[in-house]
Chain A
Amino acid sequence: MKAIVLRAGVTVGLIAGAILAAIVISRAGMGSRDTANSGAATLTIRIAEHQQPRIDALNKAIPRIEKQLGVIIEVVEYPAPEKDYLSKLLTELGAGNAPDLFTANFDSDVPDMVSAGYLAPITAEVKAWDGYRQLFDVAKKLSTSADGQIYALDSMLLVQQLYYRRDLLDKAGISTAQPTSWKDLLDRAREIKAKTGKYALLLPAGISWGPGAFNEGFALFVPGSKTPQIANDDGSLNLNGEGVRDIFRLYKTLIDEDLMPIQPLLGPEPWMIPKYTMFPAGDLMVTTCGTWCYIYDWGKGSRNPVPEVTKNVGTWAVPGMDGGASVTISGSSPWAVNAKSAHLDVAKKVLLALCSVDAMVDYAGLIGNIPARKDAADNKDFQALTELVPVLENVQNGTFLRSAPGYSVVSEGVARATEALLRRQTDAAGAQAILVKYVNDLLGDNAVR
């Protein structure tokens, strides 16, 4: 009897000891990291980054920053697709083990990350920074939240327009003049379809496209619609407006008249075929895009480039519904500091170092977005990026959408509404109803006005 009890006790003791040892070892490991990190000379700042060109650009900037600040920077590579990157980042932020520094995908993601308590305010540091006065006004406005604080800093800007195959439209005898209205744009698309037999105009749409369905498609037409802003001053969302329905009607027309490709948009990575295959091959003539397309999608960074891209691919501003035109500017991957970072002060310094002209030009060269600083124009490496120089000069003339808490829900709602249009399940009013219902379900009935 005693022997059996003794054996059982030993077994339980061994198991308990193993568990205790595991706990002690893991705590010891953390302790040694803390000890290592407490010394300024070996301080390690972890930065999240995704997509190989962005990682390459960051790796170019790191040696300068490490030397300047006397820190070690560790790049934590995240999944490439925007949606997967943000899902993983948000999960880690919620768990409290995210890196010290990271980017949001779009400005529209920032308000919700602020509401969740993930981002440290950086207002004082940014305004005291000597680069602040070099920022374009639009970058300052995009970086400033509704409460007047800065939580994420736009170091790069997305300048989005309509990109068209100038060479192929000229060859087909189709006018390449700036479309003057949505009707003119649609007529041009019908003419393209009739004369070339190719798809005329792509607007990102559908759930698979993720936030791009809103940020790279829908949002571009908002300034020229009857609902020029979605975020009201009181933070509510103007989604019941006629302008929103008109934009969905534009999508519906393109879908019903077979002016835009649909099948690829329903599959995974829906941009791959239209932007990387169809547009270079001339099977798609016009698409929304940003300056990155001149480098990353169809230019020197592309695996399927368009020859003489700046000559053969032209740009149109997005026409207004009844006239006028706009070029939408938004922040590209604004940098933010983890509110729970163990090294807040140093992380903020690294953030500002990543917003230097040199770092911005590193990113511009590999990705094709526009630096948010005026003095980037004087940088000789940027001057070599001839595709981007004229765009930088016109950044001040762009327009932008205000964002508000709940914007990421609007983004997902637009993806779902356009998905229903792609699958021919509804009309424009039905798409708007889907969007409004989705936002109301998640944010409450007072969110939408």
Chain B
Amino acid sequence: MTMTYETRMVWQNRLLLAPALVLLACFILIPAGAAIYISFTNEALSGFAASHPQFVGLKNYVRLFSDAGFWNSLIVTFAFVFGSSIVGQFVLGLASALALSRPIRFRRVFNAAILLPNAVPEVVAGFIWISMLAGGQYSTLSRIVGLFGFAPQNWLESVPLLMIIVVNTWRGIAFAMILMTSGLSAVPAEVYEAARMDGATPQQIFWRITLPLLRPTIFLYMLVSTAGTIAIFGLIYTLTRGGPGGATEIIGIYIYNQSFTAYQLGYGSAVAVIMLGVSVAIGAVYARVLKVQV
């Protein structure tokens, strides 16, 4: 049977996609399916349930909704995402992109300084910040603020959530800056020229031209950054392990603690499935606002 050109192209595209789909299936879809199944069992890492897991239906989900620890971790996660990703990284990333789009002195040095944190692995970044924040009077930050007359603090104990927001902001500015820079470069220069000729002030240009035209880039950044920040684990685990007293127990750490510290794989999987649903819902909202065809 002879194929039409269009049919041949369709098959060729499918074949090209096949390796990626196989990897997606092996490392994303099948494990996700297994996690969904395990969430309906009492499977554990130790005890009788480890060797004889039982199907328990919705018992894990019922327990989850009455678990104060779960709701605490959800609140902490959203505060963390809002503070670091949506506010911190976006505002500073946009400001950096705007500043570095101009011919300023030492532009390359500033560029490198902003990009470097993103190149540091999560755990390494965590250890760097431990030396900055942990140790009370001996921490680097305490010594710095001491020069200005402020009292030393156990920063990771007194303001732990603020500290992890600061650390994650530091680490994520580069990604925001890169996206905003590419978005800014797509804004035609003639639009700015026309606005200046019409007498628009810099503030008017920013709010009425730059931001609206950056909208697709902003929402794309929000989509990717929100999903990525919800999934953060290594950085926060290195810094605080979710403490003190659950103050920084973001959902990734909560899932780890339930699955590998309390050995309750079934319950941990239930929490993970709930977060999968939340992440998909957030992504759908962003995609709808963005009107992106995936």
Q: Which residues of A contact B (CB under 8 A)?
A: 1, 4, 8, 11-12, 15, 83, 87, 90-91, 94, 109, 112-113, 115-118, 206-208, 210, 263, 266-268, 405-406, 408-409, 412, 419, 422-423, 441-443
Contacts and interface: CB of A to CB of B under 8 A. Distances in A.
Contact of A90 (B16, B18, B45, B257): B45
A15 B19 contact: yes
Which of B15, B19, B262: most chain A CB closer than 10 A?
A: B262
Pairs of residues from A and B, 7 with the lowest C-beta to C-beta distance, nearest first: A266-B244, A116-B50, A112-B47, A90-B45, A268-B241, A112-B46, A87-B260
Given A8-B12, A91-B45, A1 B3 contact: yes
Contact of B8 (A4, A94, A109, A206): A4
B263 interface: yes
A4 B12 contact: yes
Nearest to B266: A442
7 contacts: A11-B15, A15-B18, A83-B261, A87-B261, A266-B245, A267-B156, A268-B240
A408 B245 contact: no
Contacts of A87: 45, 260-261, 263
A416 B8 CA distance: 62
A93 to B, nearest CB: 8
A408 B263 contact: yes
B240 A115 contact: no
Nearest to B2: A1
B12 A208 contact: no
Given A1-B3, A208-B243, A441-B63, A115 B15 contact: no
Contacts of A419: 245
A267 B8 contact: no
A419 B243 CA distance: 11
Given A90-B45, A266-B243, A267-B240, 7 more contacts: A90-B50, A112-B48, A116-B44, A207-B257, A263-B154, A267-B244, A412-B262
Contacts of A442: 44, 264
A441 B51 CA distance: 18
B157 A263 contact: yes
Contacts of A412: 261-262
Interface in B147-180: 154, 156-157
A8 B241 contact: no
A41 B2 CA distance: 65
B228 to A, nearest CB: 24
B55 interface: no
B110 interface: no
Given A8-B12, A12-B15, A266-B157, A113 B46 contact: yes
Interface in B64-103: none
B46 A109 contact: yes
A422 B261 CA distance: 20
A267 B240 CA distance: 7
B48 A405 contact: yes
Contact of B50 (A15, A117, A208, A423): A117
Contacts of B127: none
Interface in B14-60: 15-16, 18-19, 44-48, 50-51
Nearest to B264: A442
User: What size tier do the contact residues of chain B reach?
Assistant: 20 to 34
B206 interface: no
Contacts of A422: 245
A116 B261 contact: no
Nearest to B59: A441
Contacts of A115: 46-48, 50-51
B120 to A, nearest CB: 21
B8 A116 contact: no
A416 to B, nearest CB: 8
Contacts of A405: 47-48
Contacts of B154: 263
Contacts of B19: 15
A235 to B, nearest CB: 11
B46 A116 contact: yes
A116 B260 contact: no
A266 B154 CA distance: 12
Nearest to B260: A87
Given A1-B8, A87-B45, A406-B47, A423 B245 contact: yes
Contacts of B44: 116, 442
A419 B262 CA distance: 15
Nearest to A419: B245
Contact of A409 (B8, B47, B241): B47
Contacts of A90: 45-46, 50, 263
A267 B50 CA distance: 30
Contact of A117 (B51, B257, B262, B264): B51
B160 to A, nearest CB: 9
Contact of B45 (A4, A94, A263): A94
A441 B262 CA distance: 12
Which of B48, B51, B240, B245: most chain A CB closer than 10 A?
A: B245
B244 A116 contact: no
A154 B58 CA distance: 41
A90 B240 CA distance: 24
Contacts of B157: 263, 266-267
Contacts of A83: 261
B159 to A, nearest CB: 13
A323 to B, nearest CB: 36
A4 B63 CA distance: 56
Contacts of B257: 207
Contacts of A206: 245
A90 B244 CA distance: 26
A50 to B, nearest CB: 15
Contacts of B11: 8
Contacts of A423: 245
B266 to A, nearest CB: 10
B50 to A, nearest CB: 3
A443 B264 CA distance: 11
A242 to B, nearest CB: 26
Nearest to A8: B15
Given A1-B8, A11-B15, A116 B47 contact: yes
Contacts of B46: 90, 109, 112-113, 115-116, 118, 408
Contacts of B245: 206, 266, 419, 422-423
Contacts of A8: 11-12, 15
B260 A91 contact: yes
